[in-house]
Amino acid sequence: MKRLAVYCGSASPADARYVALAQDVGATLAQRGIGVVYGGGRRGLMGAVADGAIAAGGEVIGVIPEALASAEIANPHCTSLHVVSGMHARKQAFTDLSDGFLTLPGGVGTMDELWEAVSWAQLGYHAKPVGLLNAFGFFDHLLAFNRHMTETGFIRPAHAGIILAEPDLDLLLARMAAHEPHVPIFAMKPADL
């Protein structure tokens, strides 16, 4: 994996562990020679990931919609900054520029990005690993809901393992590096659907 799209919150929660986690993730990726593709902002966990990677000498590619860039939220310290027309173009750029997806704690935008990466993997628009760093148990309920969707039949057995979740970054990165693509919907026979 040469680059990972990192999805995380643009807010800074009161619990400082989240900001420290984001900085550590950015630094760790840089130390491993893995570039960061992220939302291009300088605030919140997004900014902390970028700061951690930049401080460790890593590549940081920001992808930010025009509306946010013009609001002076864009991070001027990125290795490169792509200003795109909107959120759809932003998510397409994340997919095009990365070799996988790494999700950290965040809010609605982070969940939108995660679920699109999962949905696109399920369909066959990409065959890249989708990692979820379940730090501090933040995603416990989401993982339980994902299991519930699988158990009730809304997620096919072939796609039940798309989300690779771990509480430890080293273990998660190892699982992502060993990722083997599943059979996407586009390649399934009608009887399997």
Which residue ranges make up each domain of the chain?
3-179
Smallest CA-to-CA distance from 32 within 6, 59, 5, 7 is with 59
Query: In CATH, what is the architecture of 3-179?
Result: 3-Layer(aba) Sandwich (3.40)
Rg (CA), the chain: 16
Is the pLDDT confidence value at 108 over 80? Answer: yes
Mean pLDDT, range 117-130, rounded to an integer: 97
Is the pLDDT confidence value at 193 over 80? Answer: no
50 phi/psi in degrees, rounded to 5:
-60, -45
H/E segment holding residue 110: helix 108-123
Mean pLDDT, range 67-95, rounded to an integer: 93
Residue 72, Cβ neighbours under 10 Å: how many? 8
What is the distance between the alpha carbons of residues 126 and 128, in angstroms, rounded to a whole number?
Answer: 6
Percent of the chain with pLDDT over 70: 100
What is the distance between the alpha carbons of residues 148 and 145, in angstroms, rounded to a whole number?
Answer: 5
